[in-house]
Amino acid sequence: MKNYLLSLFVTISFWSCAQEDSMNTENVRLIHKNHIGFSVGGPGFLGYYYEHFFNHNWSIEVGLGSVLVLTGIYTEGRYYFGSKDKPDKIAPYIGFGGGACMILGLDDGYVTPMVYAPVGLQIFNSRGFAFSMEAAVFRFDGETFPMGALKFRLMKKKKSSR
């Protein structure tokens, strides 16, 4: 399984960072402000999310997902490091978010608040695909756990004004 994940990461990294015929001088996060993606891990466990960039550095993400007896819904703010004048294809980020987790039991279920604080790395290309890996501190149901996530996203290009 580790070899599979490593080869998947290397393949996506090479594909995302491959040289193109011309160098893109525009910052991709300013072109693609809306992201829709799928997450494995993280506060949504296994689910979908939407991320909107306000500028090159700041974004907000909302998502929901479920796995087995856990269902999570959350919102998270993120800060991406880097300059808007330099079109980086790899960007580290930090974030902080919260939400609710529903835990289903055999007889009953209950909802508990959750907090999620990730540190991650986003790799993207100018064609509208991005991949993120993150490690995080996850707190819910009165306990704190280490957690991580792999996120795959398609970035929607902003409409050009004519």
Is residue 42 included in any domain, yes or no? yes
Q: How many independent structural domains does the chain possess? A: 1
What is the pLDDT at residue 34? 87
Residue 135 lies in a domain: yes
Identify the pLDDT of residue 160. 57
CATH of the domain at 102: 2.40.160.20
For residue 84, is it within any domain? yes
Asked if residue 137 belongs to a domain, the reply is yes
Dist. CA 34–CA 68, nearest whole Å: 29
Model pLDDT, residue 3: 65
Residue 82 lies in a domain: yes
Give residue 55's identity as a one-letter amino acid code. N
Per-residue burial over 67-98, b = 16 or more CB atoms within 10 Å of its CB, e = otherwise: eeebbbbbebebebebeeeebbbebebebebb
Q: Which helix (H) or strand (E) holds 10?
A: helix 2-17
- Which residue's structure tokens are 């500028």? 55
**Please, what are the averages of pLDDT over each run of 10 residues along the chain (162 residues)?**
58 49 60 88 92 92 91 94 76 95 83 95 81 94 93 72 52
Is 22 exposed, middle or buried (CB count within 10 Å of its CB: 0-12, 13-18, 19+)?
A: exposed
Cα 61 to Cα 79: distance, rounded to the nearest angstrom: 11
- With respect to residue 21, please indicate whether it lies within any of the assigned structural domains: no
Residue 98 belongs to domain spanning: 34-156
The secondary structure of residue 126, as a DSSP letter, is: T
Q: Using CA atoms, how far apart are residues 30 and 111, in angstroms rounded to an integer?
A: 37
Whole-prediction pTM value?
A: 0.77
Residue 111 domain-assigned? yes
**In-domain check, residue 9:** no
